[in-house]
Structure 1
Amino acid sequence: MTATQKSVKRDIRRQQESGMWKSYIRLLFKTKLPWFWLGFLTLLNIADITLGLLLPAYTAQVASGVITSTVITGVVVVIVVRVLFSGIIRYIAKITSYKIDIRYRKLIWNRLMRSPIKLYDDVKPSEMISRTVNDTSQISAVISGLFPALVGMIYGTVYIAKVLYGYDWRLSAGLLLYTPVYVLSIIYYGKWNYRTHKYTQNRLAGLTQFLSELLVSIPLIKSFANEQKETERGKDNIQLYYRANMKRSLTAWVNTPLTSILNLVMELFVIVFGIYLVTQGTITIQIWIAFFMYVGMYFGMLETFGLMYTQIKQSQGATSRIAHLVENDLEQYHREQEVDSNQLDLEFNHVMFAYGDKLVLDEVSFTVPYGKVTAIVGPSGGGKSTILALLQQLYHPNDGQISFGGTPIEKFHLNNWRKLFSYVAQDSPLFAGTIRENIMYGLEREVSESELINAAENANILTFINEQPDKFDASVGEGGSSLSGGQRQRIAIARAFLRNSDFLLLDEAMASLDVKSEKAVQAAMSVLMEGRTAIVVAHDLSIIRNADQIILLNEGKVETTGTHDEVLRESDLYRQFVEFLNNTTEG
């Protein structure tokens, strides 16, 4: 690496660290902290340090032969009270930490619920869990533990410096000159320790991700007889983590000899120069003993500052991830107006949309008439599902406009807008819970048993439900794992029936189903679409053929629109598509 490259790398690292400090400070004010508890904890730390600062004076008197009942009582009282304070401070610190932790977790959860879908495209669910659980614990530990202690340490350091100067200015001057050397050494060590810690954590994250991805793909690995290659890849990842850990261990080991050497240098100065001043009669033996003990406390506090700095630096990785989340833009729910009428047409006007640098929709224009069935067809990756996502305002166009009755959809209150739609996807997600809870999910009104039965019957799932011992209260398992794909789809359709929205979005709702399930789902969908504005992404020819309008997408553009017969006449691509579906059905 050249000198220029090293310089550029240093500049980038400094900018990143500067940004981390800004994020760290901004994060402190993103939620309401328990200031009473933090203040109380700070006062306890100051009281504890104040008591500790009395010990050197008492000890110096004992060492110099001044042993009185007052001195002995003072030493005992200070020690006993400090022991009690230690337990109280730990307990209050835990309470404060829990209060901070729950505030940040609530803040993050609220942000997660209100963040746009784009955030979830950029950040993996496992990382979201880590931010909510692990990162908040780190920031709460720092705020509750280090900040109150920091105030106490600053107070103690200033107090000791004042006392030492009062004993002898020459000893204090030597101490003052050496302090910057000590502090800078600790700071540089803290930065080095932070970098090696971060590097190790990154390697551990890489190893964890590698193992989690590979272990769920064991059948695929064995099917391709790729065990040896993946074994070698696993060894390489483990070796990289081992090397990072060894470097981290070396960094941790350096801490003890470094602080020992730094302390030893100052202690030797105090001992040698102090003995000289005692022999010259400049100071008394009692002052020298007290000075020596205060110096030990002084550097103990400086060492604690170093540990605090190291812990803060280590927590900055967590705080930067939280800061990225809490500073992210949220969806705007309250807008200009409510949806006054549902009986209007949807219009796409020259809509362009890209996922990152990949253009998905290019100048797309079409109209979805109210009360009609519109089928969107075309090759995979052509933007069909993206249109449904844009309609629900999960994403927003990069250019162009989507309007409803001539009004841009981004002007409608977001919750008000999304309640217009019922959405049934290819693999409709279910929540762990009962069939009843999943069918009723998202409804804010009371639902009668007859309504529930009617929705299940229309969705062609009632017979299955009645066969369960607990009927509607039967568990669906985690993510609907105890149900087949067809059963999950029909529960999703029952949910759509119960929601009774004016607009229906069906996204490959019958893909990957067996013949029996497909027929049941198809029958339920036919009932569901009656009297509604339906937008269907499907490869089912019977649904497509019967649609009032077909929109043919090809490479992100609208190739043609019209009825089945019209599109069949105009498009070679659609004729190939229909021929393929016919052959598939016959096969």
Structure 2
Amino acid sequence: MSLPPSAWAIYRRLLGLVGPYRGVLLLALLGLVVEGAAAGAFGVLTKPMVDETFVARNREFGLLLPLAIVGIFAVRGMAGYLTDLYMAKAARGVARDMRVRAMDKYLRLPGLRFDGEPVPSMLVRLGSDSDQVAQAVVDAGKVMLQQSLQVVAMLAVMLYASWRVTLAVLLLGPLIAWMMDKVGRRYRRYGHKVQETSAQMMLAADQALSNQQEVKVYGAREMEMARYTKLANDNLRLSLKVEATRSISSALVQLTGAVGLALLLYFAGREALAGRLTAGGFVQLMISMLAIIPALKQLTNVQGMLQRGVASAERLFHVLDAEDEVDTGTRPLQRAQGLIEFRDVSLRYPGQTQPALERISFIARPGTVTAIVGRSGSGKSSLVKLIPRFYDPDGGQILLDGHPISEYRLVDLRRQLAMVGQQVMLFDGSVVENVAYGELQQTTSEDVQRALSGANAMEFVAHMPHGADTHIGVKGGKLSGGQRQRLAIARAMLKDAPILILDEATAALDNASERLVQEALAHLIPDRTTLVIAHRLSTVEHADQILVLDEGRLVEQGTHAELLARGGVYAHLHAMQFREAGA
């Protein structure tokens, strides 16, 4: 088995994953040993089978030998069944554990990780990569142990039959080892590339299928198909190289085996002429050699499984070894008053030359509405994402109730917030499960009913086939945009957090849906610290204060009337929207 030092380190780490499955693996190992011993026992029987039955014509062996052979293969079959069963338990268990660990890790990573890695790539790690790891750590180990024990057992039989002939044939050992090393290197090189192209294919397919309406409207089907076809062709080309490597290595092993058989025949003939080898001994050597050749072929083929598993493990460990969100807070926080203060806060995303936010300062008081407006890309969403610490600022401080938010535990800090965004997160569950998301165990049906009523959602929930227990489809696909928004508002009402963040919650709705959502928001906003990202300025005219961002800087601050009277950026944006509405 040929692995570089770095790959050996990964494989040793993989072996650590089988700790919880030591019991079943020991049973599987016992089965492997019995299998190997049975193979060796059959090899031993071949000598008396020929010498006593066909040469000496000994009638006593005529019944005993067939019964012994049946018994050997019955034992071998039972041992093989136990081996396969317990190896499968361990392999699938390791795959399950890796999936769960990777999923848990992703949910603990900082927001920047999700900006740099597309979700389809994460799904590859949770899916095929976890399976490849299981194959590498258990299935490949099974093949290696099984075939190695077969080789050892057959070599023992050969040495028993004629140590001189066996040592002569073993001269081929270094050649086989050299070939396996070459095959392993080639597998590593192309196996990793195959996995990368598979991830790229999934990403391309996800983008095209998720945006199929735009693809059709803009006539981009041929372009998307050309992109996907190129990736598929690259994947095919690399996969064929892997298969060619496997096929060539198998052919070389078989050729080497043929040379070994030729050497065996030559030296066995010399031994027979010298009177040191009987016909039964020759058959014993031949059958053992013929059993070793396919075992060596299997050991060569397992390189592909092993290399793919190590490459997948490397990708998974890259995720598992990433730093979690920084959470060093110790200050207790049951329910915040909701006083938020930004002091000279700056934020720059990795790899960006321009800051997303630069020296932002303002205060949002409990019971007030702070609107955040500005052109696209001005930093509105970046600003509100700092409050739940999806990102941490590069400079300045954010305070909640007079203390830096970094002093609070993340779970306590985020318990103080409810968010309603333009893209509502809903699951393929019931209305109740979505409204009481995260609070399901502590929520009564009366609580859900009150939240639905306050969010103007009972108007459509009451007409569903099973009421609040009706399933709403993947991502709420059975609902309209306005209905999804009202469920999100009901969820925020049920949480009853002191801080509310609204991120363009009505931007994509028609007038009728917007009116219903605005009425629902009117029930949600009072007595909270509310921050509203607004695209339509008409929705924030009654805000207590309006922050105007431009290229990451806070350029204006005041009420609607004050900012209009100032005649600055806000007045210009308002005039533009007024002209568009009038047109």
Task: Choose the corresponding residue for 1:273, options 257, 267, 270.
Answer: 267
How many percent identity over aligned positions?
25
2:559 to 555, 558, 563: 563
Q: For 1:17-56, list aligned pairs within 5 A.
A: 18-30=5-17, 32-56=19-43
1:514 counterpart = 2:510? yes
Residue 314 of structure 1, CA deviation: 2.3
What is the match of residue 253 of structure 2? 259
Cα RMSD between the aligned structures? 3.1
Structure 2 match to 1:6: none
Q: How many residues align?
A: 573
Tell me: CA distance 1:466–1:444, structure 2 relative to 1, closer, same or farther (3 Å).
closer
Which of 518, 521, 526 in structure 2 is aligned with 1:525? Answer: 521
Residue 400 (structure 1) aligned to one of 372, 396, 406: 396
The residue type paired with residue 165 of structure 2 is L
Instruction: Supply the AA of the counterpart residue of 2:81.
Output: G
Shift of 1:153: 4.5
* Kept after mapping to 1: 8 A contact 2:120/2:203: no
2:134 maps to which of 131, 140, 143: 140
The residue number in structure 2 matching 1:319 is: 313
Q: Does the 8 A contact of 1:352 with 1:397 survive in 2?
A: yes
Match of 1:350 in 2: 344
- Select which of 575, 578, 581 maps to 1:579: 575
Structure 1 stretch displaced more, 536-545 or 572-581: 536-545
How does the TM-score come out when normalised to structure 1?
Answer: 0.87
8 A contact 1:186–1:303 mirrored in 2: no
Shift of 1:544: 2.7
Deviations 1:244-298 (A, max 9, x none): 4543443343233212111111111121122113213354554444334334444
Question: How far off is 1:40 after superposition?
Answer: 0.8
**182, 187, 204: which is aligned to 1:188?**
182
Offset at 1:385? 0.9
Q: Report the Cα offset of residue 451 of structure 1.
A: 3.5
Aligned residue type for 1:43: L
Shift of 1:51: 1.4
CA contact (8 A) 2:120 2:202 kept: no
Question: 1:319/1:445 Cα in 2 relative to 1: closer, same or farther (>3 Å)?
Answer: closer
Judged with a 3 Å threshold, the aligned counterparts in structure 2 of structure 1 residues 112 and 59 are, in CA distance, closer, same or farther, namely same
In the alignment, the residues of structure 1 paired with residue 408 and residue 18 of structure 2 have an alpha-carbon distance, to the nearest angstrom, of 29
Confirm or deny: 8 A CA contact 2:102 2:320 kept in the other structure.
yes
How far is the alpha carbon of 1:224 from its aligned partner? Answer: 4.1
> Out of 404, 414, 417, which is 1:418 matched to?
414
Q: Do the aligned residues in 1 keep the contact of 2:110 with 2:324 (CA within 8 Å)?
A: yes
Q: Secondary structure at the match of 1:560?
A: strand
Distance of aligned partners of 1:487 and 1:223 in 2 relative to their CA distance in 1, 3 Å threshold: closer
Q: Give ranges in structure 1 of 5+ residues lacking alignment.
A: 1-13
Alignment match, 1:483? 479
Q: Is the contact between residue 31 and residue 104 of structure 1 (CA under 8 Å) also seen in structure 2?
A: no
Change (3 A) 1:99 1:407: same
SS in 2 for 1:356: coil
CA distance in 2, matches of 1:566, 1:86: 83
Q: How does 1:229-268 map to 2 (within 5 A)?
A: 236-237=230-231, 239-268=233-262
Which residue of structure 2 aligns with residue 468 of structure 1?
464
Shift of 1:82: 1.5
Deviations 1:207-258 (A, max 9, x none): 4544554455555455445566556556555544554454344334323321
SS at match of 2:114: helix
| Residue of structure 2 equivalent to 1:439 | 435
1:6-155 equivalences in 2 (<5 Å): 18-30=5-17, 32-65=19-52, 68-69=60-61, 71-155=65-149
The structure-2 alpha-carbon separation of the partners of 1:204 and 1:85, relative to structure 1 and needing over 3 Å to count, comes to: same
Aligned-partner SS, 2:502? strand
* Preserved CA contact (<8 Å) 1:458 1:494: yes
For 2:296 and 2:578, locate their aligned partners in 1 and report how far apart those are by CA, in whole Å.
80
Partner AA of 1:386 in structure 2: S
Counterpart mapping for 1:216-235 below 5 A? 219-225=213-219
Q: Distance in 1 between matches of 2:536 and 2:104?
A: 40
Secondary structure of 1:338's match? Answer: coil
Does the 8 A contact of 1:38 with 1:148 survive in 2? Answer: no
TM-aligned CA distance change 1:332 to 1:27, over 3 Å: farther
Q: Which range moved further: 106-115 or 434-443?
A: 106-115
Match of 1:339 in 2: 333
**What is the CA-CA distance between 1:573 and the residue it aligns to?**
1.4
Per-residue deviation, 1:77: 2.1
**Structure 1 contact 352–362 (Cα < 8 Å) conserved:** yes
Assess if the C-alpha contact under 8 Å between 2:341 and 2:362 holds in 1.
yes
Cα drift, residue 52 of structure 1: 0.8
Please give the TM-score of this superposition, normalised by the length of structure 2. Answer: 0.88
